[in-house]
Amino acid sequence: MSGEGMGMALEIVGQSVPRSDGQEKVAGQARYMDAIDLPGMLVGRVLRSTVPHGRLRRVDAEKARRVPGVVTVVTGESLRRDGRLNPYYGPALLDQPVLAIDKVLYVGDPVAAVAAVDEESALEALDLIEVEYEELPAVFEPLDAIAPGAPLLHEGELKPGGLFVDLTDVHPVPGTNICNHYVMKKGDGEAGFRHADIVIEQTFSIPETQHYPLEPHSVLAWVDPSGRIALYANTQQPFIVRAQLADIFQVPPSHIRIMVPYLGGAYGAKCYPKAEPIATVLAWFARRPVKLTFTREEVFLTITKHATVVKMKSGAMRDGTLVARKVECYLGTGAYAEIGPRVSKKMGTNGAGPYRIPHVQMDAYCIIYTNKPPAGAFRGYGLPQVTWAFEQQMDTLARELRIDPVEIRLKNLFVDGDTFWYGERLNALGLRECLLKAAAAIRWGEPSQALPGKRRGKGLAIMLKTLTHGASIAFVKVDDDGTAKVLTSTVEMGQGSDTVLAQIAAEELGLPVERVSMAHPDTDFTPFDDKTSGSRSTVAMGKAVLLAAREARERLLELAAEQLEASVHDLEVRRGQVRVRGTDRALDVAQVVRAHFRSKGGTIMGRGEFHTKLAREEFWFAAAGAAEVEVDPETGEVRVLKYVGACDVGKAINPHLCQQQVLGGAVMGLGQTFSEEMVYDHGQLLNPSLINYKLPAFRDLPAQLEVILLETPYSEGPFGAKGVGESAVPPVAAAIGNALVDAIGVRLYELPITAEKVLKALEEAGGAGPVGAGGAR
């Protein structure tokens, strides 16, 4: 029967088969949004607010409408006047207008949109739209936004957004800028701190950063003559965007069709509606196809990673046992809630770190409206921010208590059989193994020799993230030429899902992997999937694909049994042939299909679904990072000599792709650690381009970048697989922060780590401390 079930040797799963999209991508033949045009297509462009907070006194588009080539100019007022649409949307709260109505809330807030026959006409029209603002006091930092007397951004009642079935996930605090207050309490925090031998309290902060997918947001929308709405869109969440648009246009979701080509990266930036509402509204008014592609500056103004302040207080016994922790997270979510409430929930859930602590108070709130661009899902979903805090605090405790940082973690960390904060039994964690493997790879405990005048140090960090829930459904269609097509709504955005899902289907169907192709998402044809995010596709969709392939295979075997006059139990299907085991009686899968239908054609379809209800066990992603750095105390310059990312992937369906995920995650973490930061002046973004916003380049990478994949099988995952998309990112900054302390004895609390900050910290500390060597002290 199943290769998975029978412990038969795997032929395709576990192999680093080449990416199915590799050749066409390398040859420049892959179809991205940029390559998709339609006849009669218009160009969309957006006019954005120039003030951070203001009332709209007047938006006059008369002159713009008279520009030759301009087909449609839409403003918030046109939407309200038209009356057929619901102009507000938002996954968590219904707080974001398609185009600003009455107020603007940040520099970059969309005020009006134009569709014209070419870009020149569209830009000319934007210039001619007259907007008068009445500026209002603005607030930019999360802590300022909850201070007494802070200006209130959203004055009306906050209604739940389209995504949530109920309000259990979102708790706005009326009359404040708090759009979600997340609380978690275990034990008695104050008693815990009283009982502790040592209590430390620190504040960490992380700035807004960019996901920076190479491809900007882009949508091509049109309205069929029949009134049905269709879009090509580079979204990670076709079904969520469909539901959100259905709410805007007040039609059933099936009235809207969303097709997704390859994505040029996403990292969370293409979750939830982005360019889709404006593009679709333009197409709806213009009754012609409209393509709206954001400029890089617009991407900067559309979505960010949450700037966060984490106040963390921990109490421990002399032997390093943690007894109490109190965490307060303040996430600046920008002008609209977007998915911030859920990010804060996830950050809260994981914010105490992967440690057994009897008394925990995640009295931890927040998500706060500020007059900045909205923040949302970012690879790691709250973990990068909070890991920067709890793993540095763990290191601080170790240093204060003179315990080896690995030791103190081993003493406290969750192990299989422990109970997580919400009562789930932890299992198949792989966390301890990640930590030990990473430590070994960095030669933890062995001193390393710095160049003269330089200082070296080592540090490490771990993280544990809960699974992202949601339903995934797959269909596997076997065609009459013995090929199979896998129909899912998983978005191939560079992560390799097409390859991995095809491997799973091929393994289970017994077909060569070249005979399996992947359909790209098309909500009219591919089945529902919650989303491509949260490291969930290999696990949830992979399992759905496995089950769908199994159903198709069982059907094939039934038919072949009839044709080969054999029992189903005596059949195996491998390399495209159904064979009576141990004989040469065999049929190609193509023959089986055709013979059944007595025709030159036929289709066999298998279905599979996976969702929380079906998972008998939860699972967690574990990862560790370890870094060795060299610091120049004269300049403050920090170089990473070696970085090790160790992730538990359950089962590496495609080891090469897993390695690339971990490598990519580490590089992304390095960017966030050292150079990435959105810089504002009174709400005006100063660096919305690669010139001033510095992503890591090849020369910024460590000389050694090592990946360790661990395989602690997850019982519900396909062939034991867990996800791996995010887990490499969160440990990076804290591992480096800890290595910095090891090297020069000073700790930084604010990301990014810059030479200036290192120098300043050294000056304040009166110079570098003793030479470090990881735990060797």
Length of the chain: 777
Half-sphere exposure of 288 (CA within 13 A, CB side): 19
168 part of the interface to a second copy, by CB under 8 A: no
DSSP annotation string for 194-236? HH-SEEEEEEEEE--B----SSPPEEEEEE-TTS-EEEEE--S
The single residue among 197, 224, 319, 634 that binds a second copy, judged by CB under 8 A, is: 224
**C-alpha distances in Å from residue 144, one per residue of 50, 136, 337, 389:** 22, 15, 17, 21
118 part of the interface to a second copy, by CB under 8 A: no
Pick the piece of the chain touching a second copy (CB under 8 A) from 117-125, 159-167, 336-344, 367-375.
159-167
The single residue among 512, 602, 633, 713 that binds a second copy, judged by CB under 8 A, is: 602
Tokens linked to 264? 């040029």
Please, which residues have CB within 8 angstroms of residue 719's CB and are 6 or more apart in sequence?
A: 4, 10, 13, 14, 504, 507, 546, 651, 653, 713
Shortest Cβ 257–a second copy spacing (Å): 10
Separation between Cα atoms, residue 192 and residue 325, nearest integer Å: 8
Pick the piece of the chain touching a second copy (CB under 8 A) from 212-220, 333-341, 438-446, 606-614.
606-614
Separation between Cα atoms, residue 74 and residue 624, nearest integer Å: 49
The answer to whether the bond into 752 is cis (omega within 30° of 0) is yes
What residues from 238 to 297 belong to the interface with a second copy (CB under 8 A)?
239-240, 243, 246, 252-254
Tokens linked to 608? 């599979």
Nearer residue to a second copy within complex by CB, 421 or 528: 528
* Closest of 301, 304, 308 to residue 143, by C-alpha: 308
The single residue among 156, 175, 225, 423 that binds a second copy, judged by CB under 8 A, is: 225
The single residue among 583, 612, 635, 689 that binds a second copy, judged by CB under 8 A, is: 612
**C-alpha distances in Å from residue 271, one per residue of 266, 303, 421, 468, 728:** 8, 10, 27, 14, 20
517 part of the interface to a second copy, by CB under 8 A: yes
483 part of the interface to a second copy, by CB under 8 A: yes
119 part of the interface to a second copy, by CB under 8 A: no
Separation between Cα atoms, residue 84 and residue 612, nearest integer Å: 37
Shortest Cβ 13–a second copy spacing (Å): 23
Half-sphere exposure of 491 (CA within 13 A, CB side): 31
193 part of the interface to a second copy, by CB under 8 A: no
684 part of the interface to a second copy, by CB under 8 A: no
Per DSSP, 110 falls in state E
583 part of the interface to a second copy, by CB under 8 A: no
Shortest Cβ 224–a second copy spacing (Å): 7
What residues from 649 to 668 belong to the interface with a second copy (CB under 8 A)?
none
Separation between Cα atoms, residue 210 and residue 207, nearest integer Å: 10
Shortest Cβ 464–a second copy spacing (Å): 24
717 part of the interface to a second copy, by CB under 8 A: no
Per DSSP, 81 falls in state H
The single residue among 68, 174, 226, 565 that binds a second copy, judged by CB under 8 A, is: 226
The single residue among 32, 420, 421, 597 that binds a second copy, judged by CB under 8 A, is: 597
SS3 content of the chain, % helix, strand, coil (to 5): 30, 25, 45
Separation between Cα atoms, residue 512 and residue 483, nearest integer Å: 9
31 part of the interface to a second copy, by CB under 8 A: yes
Residues 724-747: b if buried by 16+ CB within 10 A, e if exposed: bbbbbbbbbbbbbbbbbbbbbbbb
Nearer residue to a second copy within complex by CB, 195 or 469: 469
The single residue among 42, 67, 79, 163 that binds a second copy, judged by CB under 8 A, is: 163
Shortest Cβ 532–a second copy spacing (Å): 14
The single residue among 567, 603, 689, 715 that binds a second copy, judged by CB under 8 A, is: 603
CB 90 within 8 A of CB 240: no
Pick the piece of the chain touching a second copy (CB under 8 A) from 5-13, 28-36, 144-152, 709-717.
28-36
Separation between Cα atoms, residue 539 and residue 649, nearest integer Å: 10
Nearer residue to a second copy within complex by CB, 118 or 400: 118
554 part of the interface to a second copy, by CB under 8 A: no
Nearer residue to a second copy within complex by CB, 74 or 487: 487
Shortest Cβ 283–a second copy spacing (Å): 16
Shortest Cβ 413–a second copy spacing (Å): 31
525 part of the interface to a second copy, by CB under 8 A: yes
CB 156 within 8 A of CB 329: no
Half-sphere exposure of 46 (CA within 13 A, CB side): 32
Nearer residue to a second copy within complex by CB, 19 or 596: 596
CB atoms near residue 384 (< 10 Å) = 29
Burial degree of 758 (CB within 10 A; 0-12, 13-18, 19+): buried
Shortest Cβ 548–a second copy spacing (Å): 10
501 part of the interface to a second copy, by CB under 8 A: no
Q: Token match 């809330």: residue? A: 105
694 part of the interface to a second copy, by CB under 8 A: no
What residues from 527 to 546 belong to the interface with a second copy (CB under 8 A)?
527-528, 530
Separation between Cα atoms, residue 265 and residue 261, nearest integer Å: 12
The single residue among 39, 68, 83, 148 that binds a second copy, judged by CB under 8 A, is: 39
400 part of the interface to a second copy, by CB under 8 A: no
Number of residues that bind a second copy (CB under 8 A): 59
599 part of the interface to a second copy, by CB under 8 A: yes
162 part of the interface to a second copy, by CB under 8 A: yes
190 part of the interface to a second copy, by CB under 8 A: no
Q: Which amino acid is at 401?
A: L
616 part of the interface to a second copy, by CB under 8 A: no
- Site residues (vs a second copy, CB under 8 A): 24, 27-31, 37-39, 41, 162-163, 165, 224-226, 239-240, 243, 246, 252-254, 469-471, 473, 475, 477, 479-483, 485, 487, 517, 519, 522, 524-525, 527-528, 530, 594, 596-603, 605, 607, 609, 611-613
